[in-house]
Amino acid sequence: MSIKSAVVLFSGGLDSTTVLAWALREGYACYALSFDYGQRHRQELDCAREIAAAFGVVRHAVVEFDLKQFGGSALTDEIEVPKSKSAEGIGTDIPVTYVPARNTIFLSFALAWAETLQITEIFIGVNAMDYSGYPDCRPAFIHAFEQMANLATKAGVQEFKPFRIQAPLMHLGKAEIIRLGTSLGVDYGQTMSCYDPIADGRPCGQCDACWLRAKGFSEAGVVDPLASSESVITRR
Amino acid sequence: MSIKSAVVLFSGGLDSTTVLAWALREGYACYALSFDYGQRHRQELDCAREIAAAFGVVRHAVVEFDLKQFGGSALTDEIEVPKSKSAEGIGTDIPVTYVPARNTIFLSFALAWAETLQITEIFIGVNAMDYSGYPDCRPAFIHAFEQMANLATKAGVQEFKPFRIQAPLMHLGKAEIIRLGTSLGVDYGQTMSCYDPIADGRPCGQCDACWLRAKGFSEAGVVDPLASSESVITRR
């Protein structure tokens, strides 16, 4: 593939939408990749489809598999998503919303698609600042995955350019991510962060993801378009 | 989990069936994991189900996803499986039956299940001797995956025992694998190796997998139960 292209892991959330906007601004033709894996907050896929279409990606693929059959996470199992009264303490321990090996699985599919398309660049929206403390969001993991990827594939034995796992948000706080996305024209009203949305799709306002999002918008001095609507966040 | 347990990647083929028999003989309670990924030789899953039941694994899970949507391999796409007249040259180049990042994806799901079950041992039947030349069958890949796995998971940040990717067949030739399996009581008549079985499920006798299998049985001085039946292999 001669034009500059990238596979972008894309959940429809705040972080991955910012990464997608960033990659497009950098001139990449983007192949967005989402997963329908039995997540509680499956509505994020509707957001992903709308944003992918609005952004004009080359292709948006949704891979389906069922992580519910393994369980072990509040996002895929009959375990309650923890709610709290503030952002205090988030990221200090690995919470029950951690999905075992999720980013490893997501990156593995991205690698498969990238190798098929002969694309070397893979983008992921992880960050290790304002995050939930998941082990597969840390720089050491991303680096180890990249090394493994280059041994797993034809790149490892033939003369291809190596794969690169790009995580441009890794060292940004949530407020910086929001400022970056805003400067790129992202409409955060289209994104979804909540782990446990209420029946009509509005965010719960009390899970880790909602708190990190609210804290980020507050620190960025930007109004969250979701909060300015009829969402629960406005009433917390 | 206090008893000795393992997640075993298990396709229903000759190699992974030998690994499963080996792990059971070593005293592991085995969780067998297969994949329905859009493979051309989907009949291998019927073999896997029968063998898993006969061996008395704790659980046999089949994860479904569609790698056809990515394509790029003769095993998942409209690309013909190459046929040849001998085993000459197999493994010297990466053939079109290579499925991009397949073992990375398989091991990622094994890691997810193992972490959920709090099992540290993951078995895979790769070998780098009589093989098709796939990059994700080599020791360097297995080692890199293991390192990545221990950074991807709670094991990387908490005081868990690290994950181990065990590939007991890595340095065995196909004949040695067959002798090992025979000594463990494996009925190879239940297994399936062919990449491109003919309509009634019999092996084609001419793909790489059939040739490597035939060569292995011949060198081991053992009769392949599949070849002694009405299979095409007997008529090559």
Q: Is the pLDDT of residue B234 over 60?
A: no
Q: What is the pLDDT of residue A83?
A: 87
Q: Does B93 touch chain A (CB under 8 A)?
A: no
Give pLDDT tens digits for A128-169. 887 778 899 999 999 999 999 999 998 766 766 899 999 999
Say if residues A7 and A31 touch (Cβ distance below 8 Å).
Answer: yes
Question: Is A230 among the domain residues?
Answer: no
Q: What is the mean pLDDT of the segment spanning B66-94?
A: 85
Mean pLDDT of chain A: 90
Distances (CA, A) of B139 to A109, B160, B181: 21, 24, 21
Give pLDDT tens digits for B10-42. 999 999 999 999 999 999 999 999 999 999 888
Q: Does A91 touch chain B (CB under 8 A)?
A: no
| CATH number of the domain to which A28 belongs | 3.40.50.620
Q: Which of B101, B116, B153 sits opposite A111 (nearest CB)?
A: B101
Q: Is the pLDDT of residue A233 over 50?
A: no
Pure H helices in B71-207: 102-117, 139-152, 174-183
Question: Is A213 among the domain residues?
Answer: no
Which residue of chain A has the CA closest to B157? A135
Q: What is the pLDDT of residue B194?
A: 93
Kindly list the residues from chain B whose CB atom is less than 8 angstroms away from the CB atom of residue A162: none
Q: Does A58 touch chain B (CB under 8 A)?
A: no
Verify whether the Cβ–Cβ distance B61 to A69 is below 8 Å.
yes
- Tell me which DSSP letter residue A117 carries: H
Determine what percent of chain A is predicted with pLDDT higher than 90.
Answer: 71
Between B12 and A73, residue with greater pLDDT: B12
Q: Which of A81, A29, A55 is nearest to A190 (CA)?
A: A55
- This prediction's pTM: 0.93
Q: What is the pLDDT of residue A231?
A: 43
Give pLDDT tens digits for A207-225. 999 999 999 999 999 999 9
Give pLDDT tens digits for B157-192. 776 689 999 999 999 999 999 999 999 999 999 999
Residue B90 pLDDT class (50, 70, 90 cuts) = confident
Q: What is the pLDDT of residue A236?
A: 31
Question: Is A56 among the domain residues?
Answer: yes
Q: What is the mean pLDDT of the segment spanning B35-55?
A: 94
Q: What is the pLDDT of residue B91?
A: 76
Q: Is the pLDDT of residue B231 over 50?
A: no
Q: What is the pLDDT of residue B203?
A: 93
Q: Is the pLDDT of residue A69 over 50?
A: yes
Residue B78 pLDDT class (50, 70, 90 cuts) = confident
Verify whether the Cβ–Cβ distance A111 to B100 is below 8 Å.
yes
Using CA atoms, how far apart are residues A227 and B215, in angstroms rounded to an integer? Answer: 67
Between A89 and B32, residue with greater pLDDT: B32
Question: Is A211 among the domain residues?
Answer: no
The gap from C-alpha B122 to its chain's centroid, in whole angstroms, comes to 13
In sequence order, what are the residues at sequence separation of 6 or more whose Cβ sits closer than 8 angstroms to the Cβ of residue A136? A101, A102, A103, A104, A126, B151, B152, B153
Q: What is the pLDDT of residue B235?
A: 31
Question: Is A140 among the domain residues?
Answer: yes
Which residue of chain A has the CA closest to B143? A148
Q: What is the mean pLDDT of the segment spanning A116-129?
A: 94
Using CA atoms, how far apart are residues A115 and A109, in angstroms rounded to an integer? Answer: 10
Q: What is the pLDDT of residue A197?
A: 92
Q: What is the pLDDT of residue B106?
A: 98
ipTM score here? 0.92
Q: A61-70 burial, b if ≥16 CB within 10 A, otherwise e?
A: bebebebbeb
Both tokens assigned to B213:
């299998």
Instruction: Give me the count of residues in chain B.
Output: 236
Q: What is the mean pLDDT of the segment spanning B78-98?
A: 83
Residue B156 pLDDT class (50, 70, 90 cuts) = low
- The Cα of A3 is separated from the nearest Cα of chain B by a number of Å equal to 19
- The Cα of A48 is separated from the nearest Cα of chain B by a number of Å equal to 18
Question: Is A68 among the domain residues?
Answer: yes
The number of folded domains in chain A is 1
Q: Does A93 touch chain B (CB under 8 A)?
A: no
Give pLDDT tens digits for A3-37. 899 999 999 999 999 999 999 999 999 999 999 99
Domain with B153 in it = 5-235
Residue A91 pLDDT class (50, 70, 90 cuts) = confident
Question: Is A220 among the domain residues?
Answer: no
Say if residues A194 and A204 touch (Cβ distance below 8 Å).
Answer: yes
Q: What is the mean pLDDT of the segment spanning A111-120?
A: 95
Give pLDDT tens digits for A164-202. 999 999 999 999 999 999 999 999 999 999 999 987 889
Using CA atoms, how far apart are residues B126 and B19, in angstroms rounded to an integer? Answer: 9
Q: Which of A101, A140, A157 sits opposite B153 (nearest CB)?
A: A101
Kindly list the residues from chain A whose CB atom is less than 8 angstroms away from the CB atom of residue B61: 69-70
Residue A50 corresponds to which amino acid? E
